[in-house]
């Protein structure tokens, strides 16, 4: 049960590599709703600084239980609406939790300040008359009126409450330590929220710094000064030239490698050149064998479960979408495919061959007509698995699945891969290969976003692989956020010995555009499916030109992709 609750905390926090203390406050965070609340506290506030403050002013006191609950309920009240806006699916869990709390106090009366506040708080937000008065009522009203998401304002507010309502603090001036904590929290609040490196309530260990930097590398440049920390990196090399310690981290995060080292070396020599020099390729099918992979395996399984659940919620619609897209493809790409006939044990009887069956010479006396629905076509679907896709993870998985199902229903050779970058490795997650069975499409729901992305490199790699196909008609469809970004040299511990170039802004956009152009010159039809924020739409246009689809509503996804298939069908020479 604790593992499940921890996963809920990590999911809500939207970062994963910190130790969770489910007893951080006086309450038990043993329900789904409270675990999500705790995770969102980590997302919104710097819990390292909050804990530092509470350790100084609350935990050692005789009334620590009451003081900690005040901090807990203050944060819950401030963030709950924001959490529900981002995760509306938990509204029922919230109602169920509040119902249980209210019921609890029909069985016994509150016996201390914590229970009085807990009972009154949940009664108030459920519009039940509150039966407390005096200073406790005033305290509750102040908590209800606090709604700041800034760590500094939270700490200042809690300090104010403790001084005002608990006489033991009334004569105490702010000591220098509290002033220092507030000063640090103000500095933290000045960092744009999307660029913060979040920290747990425990001190950061040097050995784990890589977890805070690379896992969301698109958002973590120039954030924190770690210059005073030092780390010794194992410079032993594998045969691919990659640092052994980094290779070990990659294997731990993404599962065992599937290609042989000599195959990887050949690909890197051909592909990892220019701005991509120093980048290593890592192919995996997400099979975890590393002794320290349990957390990452659990995270992958949780994502798989969430993606499948999102699909099941509207499964009937998606099945219709697959059928509609299949019809569009059949009536465009396959409209001129070859038809042929063959003799069989069933079909239309051929009278002139009946005697062969009577004599026992040949039982194939029927004629069957076949249409080659494969149509000498190969399609490669590429899914951007970078951390910026985390909020739309299930949508990307569903859309990749819809395309793959429609194509494989028509026996069209289809390959699906995901990609992201981790340190100086590009992870290529293999979901299905051309000759896999159709059941393999279900692996697409194992899509799990993390890390950064080099769109140009994956296009270059896949074009290199596609060129070796025998199919005359080659198609590449890339689902991306239009924001190629892989900032390796962050100036943070753990990245000092990585010798590869940053891949950002105009450099990344221009390289991605060039790789799309080269692919098209090699007769590969490339479509970009835009899965990002509208502010990044211009970059997507620059990369893919006119051949891109902007998806604003998943309900229209199959129609828009179908239009692309119709447009390129006219360019093929049958």
pLDDT digit string, tens, across residues 255-267: 999 999 999 999 9
Q: How many domains does the chain have?
A: 3
Residue 327 and residue 344 in one domain: no
Residue 47 and residue 160 in one domain: yes
Residue 139 and residue 97 in one domain: yes
Structural domain including 79 reads: 2-193
What pLDDT digit, counting tens, does each position of 362-400 carry? Answer: 676 676 554 554 558 999 999 999 988 888 899 999 999
Residue 129 and residue 244 in one domain: no
The answer to whether residue 217 scores a pLDDT higher than 80 is no
Asked whether residue 565 is assigned to any structural domain, the reply reads: yes
Q: For residue 474, give the H/E element and its range.
A: strand 473-480
Distance (Å, whole) CA 191 – CA 393: 26
Record the tokens describing residue 481, joined without a space.
Answer: 């956020």
Going by C-alpha positions, the residue among 245, 247, 272 that lies closest to residue 257 is 247
The answer to whether residue 230 scores a pLDDT higher than 90 is no
Distance (Å, whole) CA 410 – CA 404: 10
Q: Count, in order, helices (H) and strands (E) of the chain.
A: 21, 10
Q: Give the model's pLDDT for residue 423.
A: 86
Res. 554 pLDDT band, cuts 50 70 90:
confident
Q: Which residue has the higher pLDDT, 273 or 499?
A: 273
Res. 441 pLDDT band, cuts 50 70 90:
very high
Decide which of 193, 221, 249 is a domain's last residue.
193
The answer to whether residue 143 scores a pLDDT higher than 50 is yes
Residue 436 and residue 328 in one domain: yes
Distance (Å, whole) CA 352 – CA 558: 48
Asked whether residue 84 is assigned to any structural domain, the reply reads: yes
Domain containing 526 — which CATH number? 3.40.50.410
Residue 179 and residue 167 in one domain: yes
Distance (Å, whole) CA 50 – CA 324: 53
Per-residue pLDDT, averaged over 158-181, amounts to: 73
The answer to whether residue 133 scores a pLDDT higher than 90 is no
Q: Give the model's pLDDT for residue 344.
A: 60
Asked whether residue 317 is assigned to any structural domain, the reply reads: yes
Decide which of 193, 217, 233 is a domain's last residue.
193
Pairing of strands 413-422, 425-432: antiparallel
Residue 147 and residue 224 in one domain: no
The answer to whether residue 497 scores a pLDDT higher than 90 is no
Asked whether residue 199 is assigned to any structural domain, the reply reads: no
Q: What is the percentage of the chain residues whose pLDDT exceeds 70?
A: 77
Residue 288 and residue 354 in one domain: no
Q: Give the model's pLDDT for residue 463.
A: 96
Asked whether residue 539 is assigned to any structural domain, the reply reads: yes
Record the tokens describing residue 371, joined without a space.
Answer: 């249409």
Asked whether residue 157 is assigned to any structural domain, the reply reads: yes
Distance (Å, whole) CA 255 – CA 249: 10
Distance (Å, whole) CA 285 – CA 440: 12
What pLDDT digit, counting tens, does each position of 238-253 carry? Answer: 444 456 778 998 999 9
- Total-model pTM: 0.57
- The rounded mean pLDDT for the chain is 80
What pLDDT digit, counting tens, does each position of 278-323 carry? Answer: 999 999 999 999 888 888 898 899 999 999 999 999 999 999 999 9
Q: For residue 264, give the DSSP letter.
A: H
Q: Give the model's pLDDT for residue 183.
A: 86
The answer to whether the beta carbons of residues 80 and 94 sit under 8 Å apart is yes
Residue 431 and residue 555 in one domain: yes
The answer to whether residue 185 scores a pLDDT higher than 80 is yes
Residue 384 and residue 437 in one domain: yes
**207-216, 397-406, 529-538, 542-551: lowest mean pLDDT where?**
207-216
Residue 343 and residue 331 in one domain: no
Q: What are phi and psi of 528, to 5 degrees?
A: -100, 125
Q: Give the model's pLDDT for residue 488.
A: 76
Distance (Å, whole) CA 25 – CA 67: 9
Asked whether residue 198 is assigned to any structural domain, the reply reads: no
Q: Give the model's pLDDT for residue 108.
A: 85
Residue 46 and residue 184 in one domain: yes
The answer to whether the beta carbons of residues 423 and 488 sit under 8 Å apart is yes
What pLDDT digit, counting tens, does each position of 104-119 carry? Answer: 888 888 888 888 999 9
Per-residue pLDDT, averaged over 66-91, amounts to: 90
Q: Give the model's pLDDT for residue 415.
A: 98
**40-54, 121-135, 345-359, 540-554: lowest mean pLDDT where?**
345-359
Q: Give the model's pLDDT for residue 375.
A: 56
As a residue count, the chain comes to: 574
Asked whether residue 489 is assigned to any structural domain, the reply reads: yes
Res. 22 pLDDT band, cuts 50 70 90:
low
């Amino acid at each position: 049960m604790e593992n499940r609750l921890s996963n809920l905390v990590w999911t809500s926090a939207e970062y994963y590599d910190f130790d969770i203390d489910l007893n951080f406050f006086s309450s038990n965070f043993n329900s789904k709703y409270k675990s999500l609340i705790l995770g969102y506290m980590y997302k919104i506030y710097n819990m390292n600084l909050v804990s530092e403050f509470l350790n100084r002013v609350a935990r050692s006191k005789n009334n620590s239980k009451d003081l900690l609950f005040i901090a807990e309920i203050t944060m819950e009240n401030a963030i709950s609406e924001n959490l529900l806006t981002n995760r509306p699916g938990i509204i029922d869990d919230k109602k169920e939790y509040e119902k249980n709390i209210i019921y609890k106090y029909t069985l016994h009366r509150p016996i201390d300040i914590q229970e009085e506040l807990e009972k009154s708080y949940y009664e108030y937000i459920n519009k039940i008359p509150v039966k407390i008065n005096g200073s406790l009522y005033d305290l509750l009203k102040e908590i209800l009126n606090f709604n700041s998401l800034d760590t500094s304002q939270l700490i200042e507010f809690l300090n104010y409450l403790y001084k005002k309502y608990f006489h033991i603090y009334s004569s105490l001036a702010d000591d220098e330590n509290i002033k220092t904590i507030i000063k640090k929290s103000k500095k933290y609040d000045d960092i744009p929220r999307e660029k913060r490196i979040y920290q747990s309530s425990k001190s950061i260990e040097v050995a784990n710094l890589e977890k805070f930097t690379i896992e969301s590398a698109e958002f973590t440049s120039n954030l924190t000064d770690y210059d005073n920390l030092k780390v010794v990196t194992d410079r032993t090399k594998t045969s691919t030239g990659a640092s052994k310690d980094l290779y070990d981290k990659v294997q731990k995060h993404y599962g065992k490698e599937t290609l042989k080292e000599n195959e990887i070396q050949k690909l890197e020599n051909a592909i990892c050149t220019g701005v991509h020099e120093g980048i290593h390729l890592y192919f995996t099918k997400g099979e975890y064998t590393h002794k320290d992979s349990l957390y990452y395996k659990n995270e992958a399984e949780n994502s798989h479960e969430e993606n499948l659940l999102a699909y099941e919620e509207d499964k009937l619609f998606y099945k219709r979408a697959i059928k509609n897209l299949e019809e569009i493809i059949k009536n465009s790409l396959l409209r001129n495919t070859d038809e042929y006939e063959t003799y069989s044990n069933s079909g239309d009887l051929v009278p002139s061959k009946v005697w062969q069956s009577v004599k026992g010479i040949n039982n194939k006396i029927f004629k069957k007509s076949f249409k080659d629905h494969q149509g000498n076509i190969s399609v490669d679907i590429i899914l951007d698995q970078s951390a910026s896709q985390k909020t739309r993870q299930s949508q990307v998985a569903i859309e990749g699945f819809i395309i793959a199902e429609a194509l494989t229903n028509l026996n069209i050779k289809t390959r699906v891969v995901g990609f992201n970058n981790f340190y100086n490795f590009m992870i290529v997650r293999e979901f299905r290969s051309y000759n896999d069975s159709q059941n393999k499409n279900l692996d697409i729901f194992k899509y799990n976003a993390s890390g950064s992305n080099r769109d140009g490199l994956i296009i270059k790699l896949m074009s290199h692989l596609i060129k070796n196909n025998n199919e005359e008609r080659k198609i590449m469809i890339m689902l991306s956020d239009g924001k190629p970004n892989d900032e390796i040299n962050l100036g943070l511990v753990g990245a000092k010995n990585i010798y590869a170039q940053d891949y950002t802004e105009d450099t990344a956009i221009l390289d991605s555009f060039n790789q799309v152009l080269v692919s098209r010159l090699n007769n590969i039809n490339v479509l970009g499916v835009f899965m990002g924020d509208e502010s990044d739409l211009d970059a997507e246009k620059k990369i893919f030109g006119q051949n891109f689809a902007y998806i604003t509503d998943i309900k229209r996804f199959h129609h828009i992709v179908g239009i692309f298939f119709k447009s390129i069908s006219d360019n093929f020479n049958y």
